[in-house]
Amino acid sequence: MHFTDAHEELRLHVRRFLEAEVVPHLEEWEETTFPDSIMRRFGELGLLGLRYPPEYGGQGGDYFSAVVLSEEMARAHCGGLGMAVAVQAEMATPPVARFGSDEQKRRFLAPAITGEAIAAIAMTEPDAGSDLAGMRTTARRDGDEYVIDGRKIFITNGRRCHWCLVVAKSDTEAGHRGFSLFIVPRGTPGFQVARTLKKLGMHSSDTAELVFDDCRVPADHRLGGEGEGWTELMWELQGERLIAACGQVAGAQATFEYAMRYATDRAAFGRPISQFQVIKHRLVDMATRIAAVRALVYETCERWDRGEYPVREISQCKLLASQVAVDVADDAIQILGGHGYMAEFPVERAWRDARLSRIGAGTDEIMKEIIAKSFGL
């Protein structure tokens, strides 16, 4: 229903690339993080601009092209690298493509599509996570420049980014109308990486805390109109949440398939453990929950691709997909027993990587609040 022959050709193209050039290095990158060169390789293959206009180096595809990439990254257990690629292609660059000027697109979007520039998006602050409206980073107009001051935390690609899309208050008295987005290139005086953070999962990608101290950027680095940043950010978050849901469903499917193979091969008490009712029923529950949330996610992707703005359904997708991904990984660990707890088996990393999905891009609790508000509650 959702994937054409062209999508399936793309899927095969991505799968072959990942199996040949990415999967053999994943364990090493869990220790060292991935090299910048692999991002350039994604760009060379056209995978960072699948649905962007050809005039900026993109492939001109539809939203399901992005879904294919997200699914294949999850299928290959890419974890942190998959998240970094998603930040590059589906989080930091979409606002530039939608709200940026032609000059901004050519200067910042085009090299991000080729992988020559790595992008990040900086929203969360040490004292403003779920409460984004409470962020304290400011951008004060000073002639032809803006002076940015503040701190951002939990920023994927933050250590290595060539430019960062920063959310700041350009008018501290204007409420939601006081936010603006700014493109801040690496090397801008006053922009520095405070530290690289250690975390539970997603080890192959870097996560950083960023500091902006009297950081001056030209006024033409503002994205869209002054005070339009909140609207731009809310639009970006819908795409971020939906593509995250796609990856979580595909990751859950890959974990389920691994657990099922293990249960079929593993013998106890004289027969495969998949023949024990407690195991087979657990597997059935895993598969059924994955199938149900996948149907919702695909339907919502179809609406997003048509240009609709289904906030309730996107929030439901993100909430359910992240919960299912974590639950499936947890069930898989239980099926594998002691082996599931060991780092040499992929379900241990699947659980650690999936757990972030219930926090990033909006916690479970925030998703429920959004859904409740859509019902007038």
Residues identified as active-site: 240
DSSP state of 197: P
Q: Identify residue 235 by its one-letter amino acid code.
A: W
Torsion angles phi and psi, residue 13, rounded to 5: -60, -45
Q: Find, among 146, 120, 148, 150, the residue nearest to 134 by Cα.
A: 150
Q: Which residues contact 18 (CB under 8 A, 6 or more apart)?
A: 72, 73, 76, 78
The phi, psi pair for 171, rounded to 5°, reads: -145, 105
Phi-psi map region of 226: left, alpha, beta (phi>0 left; psi -120 to 50 alpha): beta
Report the DSSP beta bridge partners of residue 328: none
Residue with tokens 């859509």, as numbered in its chain: 374
Mention every residue, 6+ apart, whose C-beta is less than 8 A from residue 62.
51, 305
* Alpha helix ranges (H) inside 168-307: 229-265, 277-305
DSSP string, 25-74: GHHHHHHH---HHHHHHHHHTTTT-TTS-GGGT-----HHHHHHHHHHHH
Which residue is associated with the tokens 């250690």?
Answer: 198
